[in-house]
Amino acid sequence: MTEVLETVIELVSETLQLSYQVDGTTPLVGAMPEFDSMAVVMLLTAIEDHFGITVDDDEIDVSIFETINSLSDFVSIKV
Protein backbone atom coordinates (compact mmCIF):
# COMPACT_ATOMS: atom_id res chain seq x y z
CA MET A 1 0.00 0.00 0.00
CA THR A 2 1.34 3.45 -0.85
CA GLU A 3 1.88 6.01 1.85
CA VAL A 4 -0.73 8.31 0.32
CA LEU A 5 -3.37 5.57 0.30
CA GLU A 6 -2.57 4.68 3.88
CA THR A 7 -3.00 8.31 4.93
CA VAL A 8 -6.20 8.75 2.93
CA ILE A 9 -7.67 5.68 4.64
CA GLU A 10 -6.75 7.20 8.01
CA LEU A 11 -8.25 10.57 7.12
CA VAL A 12 -11.48 9.01 5.85
CA SER A 13 -11.88 6.89 8.99
CA GLU A 14 -11.10 9.81 11.27
CA THR A 15 -13.20 12.41 9.46
CA LEU A 16 -16.26 10.19 9.12
CA GLN A 17 -15.79 8.62 12.56
CA LEU A 18 -16.08 5.13 11.06
CA SER A 19 -16.36 2.25 13.46
CA TYR A 20 -15.41 -0.34 10.83
CA GLN A 21 -12.33 -1.08 8.72
CA VAL A 22 -12.08 0.29 5.20
CA ASP A 23 -9.60 -0.29 2.37
CA GLY A 24 -8.84 1.12 -1.07
CA THR A 25 -11.79 -0.58 -2.72
CA THR A 26 -14.35 0.78 -0.24
CA PRO A 27 -16.92 2.80 -2.21
CA LEU A 28 -17.71 6.25 -0.88
CA VAL A 29 -20.30 8.43 -2.59
CA GLY A 30 -23.71 6.84 -2.84
CA ALA A 31 -22.60 3.77 -0.90
CA MET A 32 -21.56 4.99 2.52
CA PRO A 33 -24.38 6.56 4.57
CA GLU A 34 -21.91 8.80 6.43
CA PHE A 35 -20.68 10.27 3.15
CA ASP A 36 -22.80 13.40 2.73
CA SER A 37 -21.90 16.89 1.52
CA MET A 38 -20.60 17.89 4.95
CA ALA A 39 -18.32 14.85 4.87
CA VAL A 40 -16.98 15.81 1.43
CA VAL A 41 -16.06 19.28 2.66
CA MET A 42 -14.50 18.02 5.87
CA LEU A 43 -12.53 15.39 4.04
CA LEU A 44 -11.24 17.88 1.47
CA THR A 45 -10.21 20.28 4.23
CA ALA A 46 -8.44 17.48 6.11
CA ILE A 47 -6.64 16.39 2.93
CA GLU A 48 -5.58 19.95 2.11
CA ASP A 49 -4.32 20.54 5.63
CA HIS A 50 -2.52 17.24 5.89
CA PHE A 51 -0.80 17.16 2.50
CA GLY A 52 -0.39 20.93 2.21
CA ILE A 53 -2.14 20.91 -1.17
CA THR A 54 -4.94 23.08 -2.51
CA VAL A 55 -7.91 21.51 -4.23
CA ASP A 56 -9.39 23.86 -6.78
CA ASP A 57 -13.17 23.91 -6.58
CA ASP A 58 -13.42 23.15 -10.28
CA GLU A 59 -11.65 19.88 -9.62
CA ILE A 60 -14.26 18.68 -7.18
CA ASP A 61 -16.03 15.98 -9.11
CA VAL A 62 -18.01 12.95 -8.13
CA SER A 63 -15.54 10.64 -9.92
CA ILE A 64 -12.89 11.47 -7.31
CA PHE A 65 -15.10 10.17 -4.54
CA GLU A 66 -16.14 6.85 -6.06
CA THR A 67 -13.81 4.80 -3.91
CA ILE A 68 -10.99 5.41 -1.47
CA ASN A 69 -8.60 4.35 -4.26
CA SER A 70 -9.93 7.01 -6.63
CA LEU A 71 -9.57 9.65 -3.93
CA SER A 72 -6.05 8.48 -3.17
CA ASP A 73 -5.15 8.56 -6.90
CA PHE A 74 -6.38 12.15 -7.07
CA VAL A 75 -4.27 13.11 -4.06
CA SER A 76 -1.19 11.28 -5.45
CA ILE A 77 -1.20 13.48 -8.55
CA LYS A 78 -1.25 16.61 -6.42
CA VAL A 79 1.44 15.82 -3.84
- List of residues contacting other proteins (CB under 8 A): 14-17, 29-30, 34, 36-42, 44-45, 49, 57-58, 60-62, 65
SS (H, E, C) the chain: CCHHHHHHHHHHHHHHCCCCCCCCCCECCCCCCCCCHHHHHHHHHHHHHHHCCCCCHHHCCHHHHCEHHHHHHHHHHHC
Minimum gap (Å) between residue 66 Cβ and other proteins: 12
User: Residue 17 Cβ, how far from other proteins at the closest point, in Å?
Assistant: 5
Question: Which amino acid would we find at residue 21?
Answer: Q
CB closer to other proteins, 23 vs 31: 31
Whose Cβ is closer to other proteins: residue 65's or residue 72's?
Answer: 65
CB of 55 to other proteins, least distance (A): 9
